[in-house]
Every structure is written in C-alpha cells, then in structure tokens.
C-alpha cells in the first residue's frame, strides 16, 4: 500500500499506521479512507494529497 | 532604537508597534514588534522578512540608516503572513522590482496569492540549501506549519544565529530588545504567544525541536519576528517550548463562566473555593472580563477546564461559544473537563458544554452540575462539594 503526502503541510499518510486518533485503523489504504477524512495536521481534504 | 545592531553587520531594521491592542483577535496589551533583519556582508546584502504594510516607510528609514536600500541584493521571506510580508511589494518597488525573493515552496504559493497583481521574482529554496554572502553562509530550515504551511527558518552558521520567524516570538513592545535585559516576565509573553499561535502544532514542534537537536546547530542567538531577541540564553526558550509542546500541566484548574442573574457566578465561586480547598491552584475567569487569548494562556498549563453557563434560549451564552470555539481550534490535549450552570426550566446548557468538552477530547469527570434559578444553601454546598471533587480528580492524575 502506498503512502500519500499532504501537499499543503507535508503530513504523510502511512497506511500501515492509519490515523488512529481519527478512528482510521492501521492497514487502511489511502483509497479506502472515507471521503470526509481530513488531514490531521492542517485540515484539508483527500484531494490535496499526492503519492509520496 | 532601530536600527538595532545585533552582531557585526547584522541589524534589526524592524518596527515596534506600540499601539496595537488587538492582533487578529489576540489581545496585545503591550503592543508588538515586526522584526526584520538586514545582513550586510562582503558580497551580498540581504533583508530577512519585512513588516506590516503601514510601517513600510519606517522600515525603509531604518534600512537607509545602515545602507542605501538599493544595495539589497535579495529578500528572504520566512513567512507569508501579512505582518511580515505586507511591506514586500513596496520594498521591492524601491529596491528593484526584479530582485529575488527567496521563500519555501508553500511560501511562493502563499505570497503569490497575497500579491496576485504583482510580478515578483520568487526563488524557491529547499531546506538545507546554502547561500554564500561573503563571510557568512545562509541556510534554510523547514518549519512547515509553524505556524503556516509556508513557514521556514533562516540560519547563519558562522554566527550561530537562527531567524525563527514567528516561533519563539512574543507580542511585546518595550525599550528592551534582548532577553538579558528582561526578567522572568518575558516567558509569560512567550507563553501567551505559544498558547495562541503555536499550540495546534505542538506535535510538530516536538519533531522540529528533535531535528534541530539532531542537526547540532550552534545557537548563539534566536531572532524571532516579534518581540525580544534571545541572545543570552536561547536554550531557555527552547526548553520552555519543549515543556509547552508536551503540554505539561500543573495541579491547576481554570473556571471559565458567564452569568445572567449571578446564579452561575455564585456556583462558580463555590466551585473555585472547593477546588482551592484541595490545594489545587485555581483561577476564576468571567469570560466577560477575560480575553479569550488570556484564557488559553492560563489553560496551557492547567490540568482541568471547568466551564459554566446559564441556559439562555435553550443554549449556552454566546460569550462561551466564542471562547470554546477558540479553545477547540487550538487543540489542547490531555485535560480534564467539568461543566456547570444555573437554569430556569429546560436547562440544556450543561449538556451542550459536556458535548463541547467531549469534542475537544477532554476527560469529563462526570455529567456536570446544574442549579435551578437561584442556587439555595443546599445548591451552593453542592457546588462547593463539586469543586472538591474536581480538585481531587486533578490530584489523582498527579
Ligand atoms: Fe504568522
Ligand atoms: Fe507574525
């Protein structure tokens, strides 16, 4: 599974870690994140992310 | 006095803003300053950051006292926010419109969105890039989201000076310019700045502090874009930033409230006395009188946030909406929460406050305390007891 980077703040979404603070379980692929998921650092949506 | 010589060939040419009292919703009782730094080296003359637009002429005068502004070869923009970039287009106009502006990748994006009608020669620098000025070398350190996506730091290795943009700054204008001219009170201003501007990015700050430590930079001086410059003990403010970013707390509670016919205030007073009885430090804060930016400053090292509101039109008081929405955005972590308030018939306020505390991720000690219309002797005793429970909950977290 690929990592994705927020083009605004540089946060990297690592599917192996998920985003547990926002109820995203480890092992969740970026593609499977819910559409309303937001960058935990700066708050922008998935469309601002690029493959890292 | 500006220009202020801070090292051989390096000057603070920024401006003190003595009269500002409201900085986008942050109370600045002591004004602030917009520091900008001029480096005059053998081959290059560089300006790091500018000032808020209305102070452009003062900045130009300060530069003029050191050197003909046209001699400036390029500008470094560490941060695109208008208190540091506002003067940029006019300065470029006067020194030469095609002079390069070095900034981060996000800096170019932000600056062009601010000055979209101007053709500016942006030059994006990568973290770690070095630039020779003559005797000195500039380099750039990634500081994304501290506190905007564009934020970066500039460093001179030969002098060990870090130009840290908003980080380590304070909204404080005074005749003093350096940390060694000030007492411990300086840290209160720095703490307020941290709580109001940098707190949402606390985890990033810890990472940045780690990476700065790993780079093993010599830090003789830290020069933020606001307030006092750290030359005697730069390590002290770094240490405080660590404590604040880890959100270390004391046995302390703040009780924020508003009141309609003094009933909620009476409850607040009893709760405060109860908390105090347990030996926990406590500050009663009527949000009518305490500015939101001072509330979050006191919250930073408090273990518990206690919120009180009467029920008004089936909701909470608008003053509390203001403060709570502000606190929420700053993302404080690891606090206890408790709510209280008086009511007449429906009494939704406490439930709404509970929900707000839950959204902030605070651990509520229970479902809160309500009193009908005017708290009687029994209700006041209950409120005192509630304060004691809050105090004990704080102590048990020790
Ligand atoms: Fe800023
Ligand atoms: Fe600033």
Q: Is B127 on the interface with A (CB under 8 A)?
A: no
Chain B positions in Cβ-Cβ contact with residue A20 (cut-off 8 Å): none
Nearest CA in chain A to B149: A9
Residue range B352-362, pLDDT digits in tens: 999 999 999 99
Fold of B4-245: Metallo-beta-lactamase; Chain A (3.60.15)
Contacts of B376 (CB under 8 A, 6+ apart): none
Q: Is A8 on the interface with B (CB under 8 A)?
A: yes
Buried b (16+ CB within 10 A) or exposed e, B184-194: eebbebbbbbb
Residue range A2-52, pLDDT digits in tens: 999 999 988 999 999 999 989 999 999 999 999 999 999 899 999 999 998
Tell how strand B45-48 and strand B37-40 pair up.
Answer: antiparallel
CB–CB contact B149 A41 (8 Å): no
Catalytic residue check, B81: yes
Pairwise CA distance, residues B150 & B81, whole Å? 9
H or E segment at B204? helix B202-215
Beta sheet of A49-51, edge-to-edge order? A12-13, A4-6, A49-51
For residue B293, the tally of other CB atoms under 10 A from its CB is 22
State the complex-level ipTM: 0.83
Residue range B22-68, pLDDT digits in tens: 999 999 999 999 999 999 999 999 999 999 999 999 999 999 999 99
Task: Choose among B224, B206, B162, B226: nearest CA to B26.
Answer: B226
Nearest CA in chain B to A41: B201
The low-confidence residues of chain B, meaning pLDDT below 50, are none
User: In this structure, are residues B103 and B150 in contact, taking their beta carbons and an 8 Å threshold?
Assistant: yes
User: What is the pTM (predicted TM-score) of this model?
Assistant: 0.95
Catalytic residue check, B166: yes
Buried b (16+ CB within 10 A) or exposed e, B333-346: eebbbbbbbbbeee
Q: Where are the beta strands (DSSP E) in B206-297?
A: 221-223, 252-257, 281-286
Task: Choose among B140, B146, B113: nearest CA to B126.
Answer: B140
Catalytic residue check, B193: yes
Chain B positions in Cβ-Cβ contact with residue A10 (cut-off 8 Å): 142, 144-145, 149
Nearest CA in chain B to A7: B106
Task: Choose among B181, B202, B184: nearest CA to B245.
Answer: B202
Catalytic residue check, B24: yes
Pairwise CA distance, residues A44 & A9, whole Å? 9
Q: Is A29 on the interface with B (CB under 8 A)?
A: no
Catalytic residue check, B79: yes
- For residue B332, count CB atoms less than 10 angstroms from its CB and return exposed for 0-12, middle for 13-18, buried for 19 or more: buried
Looking at residue B93, the DSSP 8-state letter turns out to be H
3-state SS class at B346: coil
Cα-only R_g, chain B: 24
Q: Compute the nearest-CA separation of B236 from chain A (Å).
A: 27
User: In this structure, are residues B61 and B91 in contact, taking their beta carbons and an 8 Å threshold?
Assistant: no
What is the per-residue pLDDT for B128?
87
Q: Which residues surround ligand 2, an ion (CB under 5 A)?
A: B 83, 166
3-state SS class at B302: coil
| Active-site choice (B12, B17, B83, B270) | B83
Pairwise CA distance, residues B206 & B211, whole Å? 9
User: In this structure, are residues B367 and B338 in contact, taking their beta carbons and an 8 Å threshold?
Assistant: no
The Cα-based distances of B165 to B35, B90, B91, B239, B395 in angstroms read 9, 21, 19, 18, 38
Distance B200 CA to ligand 2 centre (A): 16
Q: Is B106 on the interface with A (CB under 8 A)?
A: yes
CB pairs under 8 A between A and B: 14
Catalytic residue check, B147: yes
| Pick among A5, A7, A10, A39 to test the B interface (most B CBs inside 10 A) | A10
Chain B positions in Cβ-Cβ contact with residue A6 (cut-off 8 Å): none
CB within 8 Å of chain A, chain B residues 150-209 = 201, 204
- For residue B250, count CB atoms less than 10 angstroms from its CB and return exposed for 0-12, middle for 13-18, buried for 19 or more: exposed
Buried b (16+ CB within 10 A) or exposed e, B146-174: bbbbbbbbbbbeebebbbbbbbbbbbbbb
Ranges of each domain in chain B:
4-245, 254-391
Nearest CA in chain A to B110: A8
CB–CB contact B201 A41 (8 Å): yes
The superfamily (CATH) of domain B254-391 is Flavodoxin domain (3.40.50.360)
Q: Which residue is it, tokens 């606390």? A: B202
């Amino acid at each position: 599974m690929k990592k994705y980077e927020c083009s605004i703040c540089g946060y990297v979404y690592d599917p192996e870690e998920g985003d547990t603070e926002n109820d995203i379980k480890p092992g969740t692929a970026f593609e499977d994140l819910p559409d309303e998921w937001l960058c935990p650092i700066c708050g922008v949506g998935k469309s601002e992310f690029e493959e890292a | 006095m500006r220009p202020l010589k801070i090292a051989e060939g390096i000057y603070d040419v920024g401006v003190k803003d003595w009269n500002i009292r409201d900085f986008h919703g942050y109370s600045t009782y002591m004004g602030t300053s917009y520091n900008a730094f001029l480096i005059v080296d053998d081959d290059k003359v560089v300006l790091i950051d500018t000032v808020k637009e209305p102070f452009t002429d003062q900045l130009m005068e300060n530069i003029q006292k050191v050197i003909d502004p046209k001699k400036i070869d390029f500008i470094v923009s560490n941060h695109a926010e208008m208190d540091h970039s506002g003067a940029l287009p006019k300065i470029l106009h006067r020194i030469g419109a095609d002079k390069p502006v070095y900034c981060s990748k996000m800096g170019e994006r932000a600056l062009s969105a601010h000055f979209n009608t101007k053709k500016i020669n942006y030059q994006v620098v990568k973290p770690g890039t070095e630039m020779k000025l003559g005797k000195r070398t500039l380099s750039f350190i990634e500081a994304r989201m501290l506190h905007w996506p564009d934020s970066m730091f500039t460093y001179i290795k030969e002098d060990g000076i870090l130009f840290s943009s908003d980080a380590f700054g304070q909204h404080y204008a005074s005749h003093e310019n350096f940390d060694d001219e000030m007492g411990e009170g300086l840290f209160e201003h720095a703490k307020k700045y941290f709580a109001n501007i940098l707190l949402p990015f606390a985890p990033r700050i810890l990472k940045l502090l780690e990476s700065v430590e790993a780079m093993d930079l010599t830090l003789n001086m830290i020069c933020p874009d606001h307030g006092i410059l750290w030359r005697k003990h730069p390590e002290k403010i770094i240490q405080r930033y660590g404590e604040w970013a880890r959100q270390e707390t004391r046995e302390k509670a703040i009780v924020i409230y508003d009141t309609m016919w003094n009933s909620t205030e009476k409850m607040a007073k009893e709760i405060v006395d109860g908390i105090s009885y347990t030996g926990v430090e406590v500050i009663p804060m009527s949000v009518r009188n305490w500015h939101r930016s001072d509330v979050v400053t006191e919250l930073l090292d408090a273990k518990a946030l206690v919120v009180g509101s009467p029920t008004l039109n089936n909701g909470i008081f608008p003053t509390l909406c203001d403060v709570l929405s502000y606190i929420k955005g700053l993302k404080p972590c690891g606090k206890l929460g408790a709510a209280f308030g008086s009511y007449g018939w429906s009494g939704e306020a406490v439930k709404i406050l509970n929900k707000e505390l839950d959204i902030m991720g605070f651990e509520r000690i229970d479902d809160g305390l309500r009193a009908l219309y005017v708290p009687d002797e029994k209700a006041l005793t209950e409120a005192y007891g509630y304060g004691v429970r809050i105090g004990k909950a704080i102590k048990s977290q020790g």
